[in-house]
Amino acid sequence: MITRNRSCARGDTVDAATLRGVLDEHAAHAERLKKLKRYYLGETDIVKRRRAPGLPNNRISHAFARYIVTVSVGYLVGESVGYKTDTDQKAALDEVLAAYRECDAAAVDTENARNAAIYGRGIEFICVPERGGLPGAYALSPENAFVVYTDDICHEPLFGVYMGRSAGEGGAEGGMQIICATESRILEYSLRDGEIRLTGSRPHFFDGVPMVEYWNDENEKGDFEWIIPLIDAYDALQSDRLNDKDQFADKLLVLTGCTLETDEEGRPPWLQLRMDKALCLPDGDAKASYLTGEMNESGNEILRKSLCEDIHKLSLVPDLSDTNFAGNMSGVAMKYKLMGLEQLAGMKQQWFTEGLRRRLRLFAGFMRLRGTPKLDAARVSVTYTRALPENLSEAASAVKTAREAGAMSTRTMVELLHGNGDWNEEMTEREVERIYAEGSGRTGEKRNAEGR
């Protein structure tokens, strides 16, 4: 987290000295961010390994980072995030959600969650297109965007910064362009020859800094950042195993009691062996044998499995291809297998929700300028649906037992079968009964009864 005193953004302007200072502080983490991106793309440190000339140099990179990010992000926001509020705020929330659909906020959520899982934080820029209309949300890479916070106990957003290369005619680079978003204005700067100049300023009409950070955890660390040494060890082990295989296939021939010389055709000894596939020894005392080493494959395989298990255990992301994840497992057994991933998703969810609420407040404040009723973001509940295979037979059995015992309402049983939908408050009990019948597979029975 980059912090500055509130006085650094006087009158909704940021002076060049302050801007240069936060840019330098962000640049100090540039190598870390680039390394995390490399690992996510499968370009681990093993690809840079060098060995002596003539020795095999297999460099096998394993995409553990991508797997961990994909599973954790899909588990968290694989299903679109939902929003619910009280009846008196429903109209205002519907207006905001319409703006969300217009800018495809669900896709932006996925991108923000992915960036948070890779870099430790995701950055979002909220603005209104130049052509006007509804506001939009855009995911930015943490490599060239960040938010500066106040240095007090509240750590409120002070201003946000985005850096990009400006392109001139023919695609030629025209220097660095810097956008700085304060609480009320968008400031545009140019950076050329080490000099920062203010080139433009305009209001943004949002009630707050229109840049939102989505933290992955309290340390701003990525999902796989803690286990990079284990990934490197796994890559080295597998690469060395192939190196040993190559060296074993390219073994040396040892001659005892004789030597080979160039033949009449001028072929050197090694070429004679390769072409003739035969070797003539001068007498019975001469011997020929290959120089080979022992390969401890069983020990290597035990080490490989141990490293793989440690990677999944410490990242809290299970190996879904493992035989333990069988299709006939009960729902409770599956939850125990996914307990670590659920704990990880729960922590990520708390930080992600904080960013979603801030975005909601920014959108709601802008929509009020368009005449939309006031929306209190604190009264809006954010709901997540885990992207997991459903055991409908277990759910139907539980619903049937509860219905026979009269232990829960029909509406609650429908929600267990169909998820937490946004039910119409005026839905009649008969309509709810029909939905329940369709979900529990009793529609055919009801039709037969009506026919009789």
Least confident window among 134-138, 198-202, 294-298, 407-411: 407-411
Distance CA 119, CA 141 (A): 9
**At 148, is the secondary structure helix, strand, or coil?**
strand
* pTM given for the model: 0.78
Contacts of 137 (CB under 8 A, 6+ apart): 100, 103, 105, 108, 124, 125, 126, 359
Pick the closest to residue 46 from 237, 227, 223, 222 (CA basis): 237
pLDDT for 310 beyond 70: yes
Q: Give residue 355's pLDDT band: very low, low, confident or very high (50, 70, 90).
A: very high
Higher pLDDT, 290 or 116: 116
| Residues recorded for the chain | 452
The full set of domain ranges for the chain reads 1-251+312-389, 390-452
What pLDDT sits at residue 224? Answer: 94
What pLDDT sits at residue 242? Answer: 86
Placement of tokens 């079968």 in the chain? 417
Pick the closest to residue 302 from 227, 246, 243, 241 (CA basis): 241
Q: Give residue 72's pLDDT band: very low, low, confident or very high (50, 70, 90).
A: very high
Residues 83-114 have pLDDT tens digits of 998 888 898 999 999 999 988 999 999 999 99
Distance CA 325, CA 313 (A): 15
- Mean per-residue pLDDT over the chain, rounded: 81
Task: Supply 144's token pair.
Answer: 């060239």
Q: Give residue 373's pLDDT band: very low, low, confident or very high (50, 70, 90).
A: confident
Which among 231-245, 328-342, 384-398 has the top mean pLDDT?
A: 231-245
Residues 39-71 have pLDDT tens digits of 999 999 999 999 888 778 889 999 999 999 999
